Copies of this chain bind each other. A is one copy, B any other.
Amino acid sequence: MIRILLAEDQHMVRGALAALLAFEPDLEVVAQVAAGDKVVPAALQAQPDVALLDIEMPGMDGIEAAARLREELPDCRVLILTTFGRPAYLRQAMEAGASGFLVKDAPAERLADAIRRATSGQRIIDPELAVAALQKSESPFTPREREVLEASEDGSPVAEVARRLFLSEGTVRNYLSSAIGKTGARNRIEALRLAREKGWL
């Protein structure tokens, strides 16, 4: 019996996924949480074999939760399940120690299969996404440029981004300027949009 922890903030989707898994005789959902920061506590209590984590969650995102979980329960495999098949998410998920990465666009049947494979130690990457990630031109950003761009996505002014990243205001402007140049945008907002479209984030 494979014990599963389900982390997904949309109640109905979570319930539906649980129903989907309930049809599999060898799978058992032993815990359900709706927020990223509840993942580790629930896992410590329920001792699942696999954690199925959404990325977009309140409290803590699924990537971060995955990393924490790998520290606290190294025996628990992590599967990331997300709406957005951004290459950057895939990369981050792998860095966080996830065993697999699925998009919600994938066929429903693939889910149970992925869970079984994860427990047997395999890595599961959504084939469509893997192809997309490889086809997508490599991001031309330096790590810092990406970091600064991402920190600007909520629209906070340069000064605040600088504070958050412990950088000088001028430095932040330089990185943004460079990112704007590389995307061919006219300002940071467009740069952010174009970078996302090209899968550079």
Contacts and interface: CB of A to CB of B under 8 A. Distances in A.
Contact of A15 (B10, B20, B83): B20
A19 B155 contact: no
Interface string A11-45: 11111111110110000000000000000000000
Contacts of A71: none
A156 interface: yes
Interface string A90-112: 00000000000011111111110
- Among A12, A14, A15, A192, the most chain B Cβ lie within 10 Å of the Cβ of A12
Nearest to A10: B104
Q: How many chain copies does the complex carry?
A: 2
Interface stretch (A62-70, A142-150, A166-174, A181-189): A181-189
B16 A193 contact: no
Nearest to A155: B189
Given A19-B23, A154-B189, 17 more contacts: A10-B83, A11-B105, A11-B106, A11-B107, A13-B16, A15-B20, A15-B108, A16-B16, A16-B17, A16-B108, A18-B108, A19-B22, A19-B108, A20-B20, A22-B23, A154-B190, A155-B192
5 contacts: A15-B20, A16-B16, A19-B19, A155-B193, A189-B189
